[in-house]
C-alpha cells in the first residue's frame, strides 16, 4: 500500500555521492532496494557494476542475474565474510575500473565506511552499502530507505502492468533536506526517473512522505 501523502518541496538529489547507504524496509524489498542502488551509478556508456557480498548473504537473498541487467557489465565477488567483502569493495572503488561498487554487507564500523569513502574519491567511483538494517554510524553522505510502489498504468492495456515504481526516502543527508520521491523505470534508458506526475514541481496527488518505521 502506498504511504499517505505529506508534501515537501525538497529537490530529488539525482547526482550520487561518493558513498551512500541504501536500506530495504523489509527482506522482501531487497530486490527493489537493489534496483534503486543501481540507479545511483553515474551515467556511462556501459556501466561496470561490482557487487561484493558474503556467500551466506547471497544464499539468503539471491544473486542478481547479469543477463537481466541490459547494458551493464556485472562483476560478482562472493566472499567468506563481511570483512572480506568490505576489502573487495574498497579495492574495486580504489581501482577506478568500476562505475559503481555495491556491498551487501550488514555490519561495518565507522572506520571501515570511511575507508570506502576515501577509496571512492580516489578511484572516481560511487560506492553503495546495500542493507536491510540502518541507523548505525556510517560515513555515507546519504542514507536511503526503499519500498516498492504500485506500477504505473499501462495506456495500451489496462490489464497489463506499466513502468515499475518505488518509493525512495532520504532519511539522512549531510547536505540536503530529507524527503521522499516516487521513481519509475524509464524504458528507453532502463534507469529510474521521477514519476511523470511528480516530474514538474514535485507536488501532486501523491507526493513525498515518510514511510512507516
User: What is the chain's pLDDT, residue by residue, as a tens digit (213 residues)?
Assistant: 444 444 456 788 989 999 999 999 888 899 999 999 999 998 877 899 999 999 999 999 988 888 888 788 999 999 999 999 999 999 999 999 999 999 999 889 999 999 999 999 999 999 999 998 777 889 999 999 999 998 887 777 777 777 889 999 999 998 888 999 999 988 777 788 888 654 433 333 333 333 333
Which residues, other chains included, contact 191 with Cβ-Cβ below 8 Å and sequence gap of 6+? 39, 185
Report domain extents, the chain: 19-150+169-177
What's the confidence (pLDDT) of residue 209? 39
| Cross-strand partners of 74 | 49
What's the confidence (pLDDT) of residue 8? 53
Residue 135 near residue 157, CB atoms below 8 Å: no
Q: Check if CATH label 3.40.50.300 holds for domain 19-150+169-177.
A: yes
What's the confidence (pLDDT) of residue 186? 82
**pTM: predicted TM-score of the whole model, two decimal places:** 0.84
Amino acid at each position: 500500500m502506498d504511504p499517505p501523502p505529506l508534501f515537501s518541496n525538497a529537490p530529488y538529489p539525482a547526482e550520487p555521492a561518493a558513498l551512500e547507504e541504501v536500506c530495504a524496509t523489509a527482506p522482501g524489498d531487497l530486490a527493489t532496494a537493489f534496483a534503486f542502488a543501481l540507479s545511483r551509478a553515474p551515467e556511462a556508456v556501459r556501466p561496470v557494476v561490482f557487487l561484493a557480498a558474503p556467500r551466506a548473504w547471497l544464499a539468503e537473498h539471491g544473486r542478481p542475474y547479469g543477463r537481466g541487467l541490459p547494458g551493464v557489465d556485472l562483476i560478482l565477488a562472493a566472499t567468506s565474510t563481511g570483512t572480506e567483502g568490505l576489502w573487495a569493495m574498497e579495492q574495486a572503488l580504489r581501482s577506478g575500473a568500476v562505475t559503481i561498487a555495491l556491498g551487501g554487507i550488514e555490519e561495518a564500523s565507522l572506520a571501515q565506511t570511511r575507508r570506502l569513502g576515501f577509496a571512492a574519491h580516489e578511484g572516481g567511483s560511487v560506492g553503495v552499502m546495500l542493507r536491510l538494517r540502518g541507523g548505525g554510524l556510517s560515513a555515507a553522505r546519504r542514507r536511503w530507505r526503499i519500498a516498492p510502489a504500485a506500477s504505473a498504468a499501462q495506456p495500451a492495456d489496462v490489464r497489463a502492468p506499466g513502468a515499475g515504481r518505488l518509493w525512495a526516502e532520504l532519511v539522512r543527508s549531510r547536505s540536503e533536506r530529507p524527503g521522499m520521491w516516487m521513481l519509475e523505470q524509464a524504458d528507453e534508458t532502463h534507469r529510474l526517473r521521477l514519476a511523470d506526475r511528480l516530474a514538474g514541481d514535485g507536488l501532486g496527488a501523491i507526493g513525498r512522505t515518510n514511510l512507516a518505521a
